[in-house]
Amino acid sequence: MSMISQTIQGALLSVVSNILAQLIAPLKNGGSFTFNPVPVIKFFVYALINNPPNILWQSFLEDKFPTEVLAPKSEKNDGKPTKTTSVTNILTKFALDQSFGAAINTAMFLAFMAYTDTSKSGQYQSWDAVKMEVNDKFHPMIMDSYKLWPLFSLISFIWIPVEKRVVAGATVGILWGVYLSLAVGS
C-alpha cells in the first residue's frame, strides 16, 4: 500500500474519531450536540502531516529488526533456508516504538494542537503556550497511551504486515482519537 494511500486512509479515520468525540462530549458534559468543523479539519491536517513520518518509522523498525529472519541451517530443516520469528527483534521494535516513538508522537500531537488553537482574539498561541500545553498534558497522555498501544504494538509487530500497520493503527486509533479529541477539548 502506498504512502499516499496509507496517509489518506489514516487521515479519514482520524476525522471519524473526532466526529465521534464531538458526539460523545455532550453526553459526557450534559450539553447538546453542535458540530464543529474546526477540530475535524485540525485532526485531518495533523494526520496528513504525521502519518508519513510514522509510515517511515514503521518501515525503519521492520528493516532494522525484521520479524521474520532466516533460521540457522540444521538437520531439523534439512539444511534448507527457512524463516523463523525473531522474538528479540519484536521486543526491540516494541521497546523503541513504546518509548521513543510514543514520546515523539505525543509531543508532536500536543504541540500541533496547541499551536493551531486560537485565542479569543484569533491570534495563534505563543510558543510559550505550546510549551506549557506539552508540559501539562504530556505525562498524563503518555501514561494513558500505555493502556492501549503496547498491546496493539505487539500484535502489529507479530501479525500485521509493515505496509498495513499505520492504517491498522489508525483503525484501532479511532478509540484513541476519541480520547485525544476529548483530552484536548476539540
Which of the 8 DSSP states describes residue 97? Answer: I
- 36, 22 in Cβ contact below 8 A? yes
User: What is d(CA 26, CA 34) in angstroms, rounded to the nearest whole number?
Assistant: 9
The cell 510514543 sits on which residue?
A: 102
Can you give the pLDDT of all 186 residues of the chain as single tens digits? Answer: 789 999 999 999 999 988 988 988 888 778 889 999 999 999 999 999 999 999 999 999 999 999 999 887 766 667 677 889 999 999 999 999 999 999 999 999 999 998 888 554 455 557 888 899 899 999 999 998 998 899 999 999 999 999 888 889 888 988 887 877 777 665
10 Å Cβ neighbour count for 154? 16
- Residue pair 167/10 in contact (Cβ under 8 Å)? The answer is yes
Q: How far is CA 109 from the centre of its chain?
A: 9
Q: Which of the 8 DSSP states describes residue 120?
A: T
The four Cα atoms 119, 122, 127, 129 give a dihedral, to 10 degrees, of 0
Q: Check residue 121 and give its pLDDT.
A: 44
Chain position carrying cell 503496547: 150
Could you tell me the sign of the dihedral formed by the alpha carbons of 46, 37, 25, 124, in that order? positive
